[in-house]
Amino acid sequence: MNAEETLAQIAAEVAVCQKCALHRSRKKAVPGEGPANAEIMFIGEGPGFYENEQGRPFVGAAGNLLNELLAKAGLKREEVWIGNVVKCRPPGNRDPLPEELAACDEYLERQIVALNPKIIITLGRYSMNKFMPGAKISAVHGQMRRVGARFVIAMYHPAAALHQPANLPILAQDFALLPKLLEQARAALKHVAAVPAEEPPAEQPKQLSLF
Ligand code: URA
Ligand code: SF4
């Protein structure tokens, strides 16, 4: 299966998933969306009211803000991948419970492997905690960190910026850095992309030391 097929397969599983209690109250599961070759993957928290109605991520007020921030950063929504740590709406938009996060994590893990993005942007503390356990968003937001084969940038959640307008300029600033950070990530990961998975690592051929 190629990346697109794998992502579609995961979405099909999510649509009928009953691995945690959130399946009982959901209307539509929200697997996430975007092109299989996206270089940037946004990971939010979980579907809200409108996402649950439509089965699509970030289509409510937070989504409108996300669209604006993307546009200001010169990115098209259609060229990034957007998803969440839990795929079904927590009732009343409550925080996801540890057991729900744990049950749903398998899907996100598989989505990350299939997409293999250069940059993961976590929106809010639940997705940040997955990659930077114990980090404080006020201390780490906007900083790009290498995590394995990719980079992770923690950002404030757009909904939090709507509730706390003081966070809005911070979030806008972090988004404005994205084009530059994407260039850096591309450059740093170039050699990774250039080596096909089957080939031995570039350090191997030592015989050239004849010179
Ligand atoms: N907030 C999220 O975290 N995710 C969505 O999809 C919508 C709002
Ligand atoms: Fe399954 Fe995730 Fe929905 Fe829980 S939140 S039912 S684990 S898709």
- Which ligand has the shortest distance to the CA of 105? 2
Scanning 75-205, the segments in alpha helix (DSSP H) are 98-115, 125-131, 137-140, 158-163, 168-176, 178-194
Task: Give the model confidence (pLDDT) of 161-205 as tens digits.
Answer: 999 999 999 999 999 999 999 999 999 998 765 555 555 555 544
- Domains of the chain: residue spans and CATH: 3-196 (3.40.470.10)
| Residues 6 or more apart in contact with residue 31 via CB below 8 angstroms | 10, 11, 14, 15, 55, 83, 87, 107
Pick from 51, 87, 93, 99 the residue to mutate for probing ligand 2's pocket: most ligand atoms within 8 Å of its CB.
Answer: 87
CA separation (Å) from 83 to 52, 138, 154? 13, 23, 15
pLDDT at site 191: 73
> Mean of the per-residue pLDDT values for the chain?
92
Closest residue by CA, ligand 2 atom 2:
104
pLDDT recorded at residue 31: 98
Please state, in angstroms and rounded to a whole number, the distance separating the CA atoms of residues 52 and 68.
Answer: 22
Gap between the Cα atoms of 116 and 185, Å rounded: 13
Residue range 136-146, pLDDT digits in tens = 999 999 999 99
Q: What is the pTM of this model?
A: 0.91
Report the candidate in 48, 60, 43 with the shortest Cα–Cα distance to residue 92.
Answer: 48
